[in-house]
């Protein structure tokens, strides 16, 4: 079925990003917006705008009924959920099917198979992928027995959701009971699911992921991304391809991701995430994200492939039109997530009026954003203001180009993390490449960086 009108059940930069591809494909767009986003840039770019409720997400972007009714009212052929909100919700895909609306994403069964981290782990084992030692635990006694078997430190993780909620690092038996209680409570509060599982904690781990595309029959990969620079499990800097990996390790992870996708007969764009044990040169399956990722532009930059267009193509029932041999990798790309947060005040969110938004432009520079001078940043949603992406013929050129681009980036009126990104880019260890997830927490703890100001 050809999609003529597509409803975007999301907001911010990803909504604007989807609209751009739809315009290129000649597809009309309907933006499903909350009352807080009716005058946003995506609202101005869309063909049509429909209000789906008041600002709080549970009454708008997370309201399955409101989204479906908006699609029916505007006679949309399809719904693109973007990332976050309802993007990996099997009930959303089911409601689309029931109402004969195309869901831009995987099948209902695939969402169920990988949305639950334990089911995803079981599928990974069935596909012969390496997994981190551990498993589900329901009681403190079970957790203590499993921790004793695999050794401390261990990581308690929520079965549902993500973003670091319901995750606790435990160093000893004495701390396990309290950590597990807190993790279960966080998981219940955030996801309505208190289930947790326990894994061996890899202290020197890198977060490396592989982008895959599938049409339900064939699955290919579009290379690796490194997302190891994180604060409280939230990614801040991503790059493609992942640096400082041996060809053997890179090839093994890419092959494992494709194997997993084929095991699921995967349809759409997806990301298979791995934990790389830098000390041992091994890797483990973490999870699969069944949606477009925030960091997808770095993959687009090194492959020249529009991932949103591929999502739409597959959702229409067409084959990929690409084989693995058609994928070519060019240069290196790095992305910085620009957030409205006060780095000098424990990274508190900083909603408010943007009095100046000036972004760099030029060769190899891409800015995905939904803000401009005079735009209000509402307090109801995540703090992402936009993504600054650069491409270079190699990693050295990409780092230098991003340093220059950040120095010409201005966001006034709200606090932002531009200063933090400039410190990261200037750090010799980052410039060498291959840092692990301890890199940023260690720098922030040391107090060596002045997060209030940096010379322009």
**Residues forming the active site:** 291
Q: Cα(225)–Cα(206) distance, rounded to whole angstroms?
A: 11
Q: Cα(10)–Cα(22) distance, rounded to whole angstroms?
A: 15
Q: Do the Cβ atoms of 89 and 63 come closer than 8 Å?
A: no
Q: Do the Cβ atoms of 239 and 299 come closer than 8 Å?
A: no
Q: How many helices (H) and strands (E) does the chain have?
A: 15, 23
- How far are the Cα atoms of 9, 227, 308, 309, 421 from residue 47, in angstroms, in the given order? 14, 34, 18, 18, 35
Structure tokens at 63: 């309201």
Q: Cα(412)–Cα(438) distance, rounded to whole angstroms?
A: 30
Q: Cα(257)–Cα(285) distance, rounded to whole angstroms?
A: 9
Q: Do the Cβ atoms of 209 and 225 come closer than 8 Å?
A: yes
Strand partners, 196: 137, 158
Q: Cis omega (within 30 of 0) on the bond before 153?
A: yes
Q: Cα(284)–Cα(300) distance, rounded to whole angstroms?
A: 25
**DSSP three-state, residue 385:** strand
Q: Do the Cβ atoms of 238 and 389 come closer than 8 Å?
A: no
């Amino acid at each position: 079925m050809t999609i003529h009108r597509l409803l975007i059940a999301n907001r911010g930069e990803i909504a604007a990003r989807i609209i751009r591809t739809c315009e290129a494909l000649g597809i009309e767009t309907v933006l499903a917006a909350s009352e807080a986003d009716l005058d946003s840039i995506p609202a101005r770019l869309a063909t049509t705008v429909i209000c789906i409720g008041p600002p709080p997400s549970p009454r708008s972007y997370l309201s399955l009924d409101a989204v479906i009714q908006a699609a029916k009212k505007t006679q949309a052929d399809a719904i693109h959920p973007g990332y976050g909100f309802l993007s990996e919700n099997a009930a959303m895909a089911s409601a689309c099917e029931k109402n004969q609306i195309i869901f831009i994403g995987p099948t209902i069964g695939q969402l169920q198979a990988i949305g639950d981290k334990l089911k995803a782990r079981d599928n990974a084992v069935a596909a012969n992928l390496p997994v981190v030692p551990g498993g589900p635990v329901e009681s403190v006694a079970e957790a203590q027995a499993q921790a004793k078997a695999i050794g401390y430190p261990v990581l308690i993780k929520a079965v549902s959701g993500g973003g670091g909620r319901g995750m606790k690092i435990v160093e000893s038996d004495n701390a396990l009971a309290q950590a597990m209680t807190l993790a279960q409570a966080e998981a219940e509060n955030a996801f309505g699911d208190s289930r947790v599982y326990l894994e061996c904690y890899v202290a020197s781990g890198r977060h490396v992921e592989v982008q895959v595309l599938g049409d339900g029959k064939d699955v290919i990969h579009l290379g690796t991304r490194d997302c190891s620079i994180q604060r409280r499990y939230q990614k801040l800097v991503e790059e493609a391809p992942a640096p400082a990996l041996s060809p053997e390790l890179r090839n093994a992870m890419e092959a494992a991701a494709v194997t997993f996708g084929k095991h699921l007969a995967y349809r759409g764009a997806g990301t298979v995430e791995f934990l790389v044990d830098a000390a041992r040169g091994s890797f483990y399956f973490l999870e699969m994200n069944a949606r477009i990722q925030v960091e997808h532009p770095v993959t687009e930059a090194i492959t020249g492939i529009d991932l949103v267009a591929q999502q739409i193509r597959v959702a229409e029932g067409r084959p990929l039109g690409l084989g693995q041999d058609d994928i070519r990798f060019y240069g290196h790309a790095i992305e910085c997530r620009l957030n409205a947060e006060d780095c000098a005040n424990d990274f508190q969110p900083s909603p408010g009026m943007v009095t100046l938004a000036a972004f760099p432009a030029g060769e190899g520079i891409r800015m995905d954003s939904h803000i401009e001078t005079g735009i209000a940043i509402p307090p109801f949603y995540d703090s992402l203001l936009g993504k600054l992406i650069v491409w270079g013929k190699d990693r050295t050129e990409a780092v230098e180009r991003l340093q220059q681009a950040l120095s010409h980036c201005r966001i006034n009126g709200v606090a932002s993390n531009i200063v933090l990104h400039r410190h990261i880019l200037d750090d010799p260890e980052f410039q060498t490449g291959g840092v692990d997830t301890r890199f940023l927490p260690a720098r922030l703890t040391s107090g060596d960086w002045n997060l209030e100001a940096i010379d322009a």
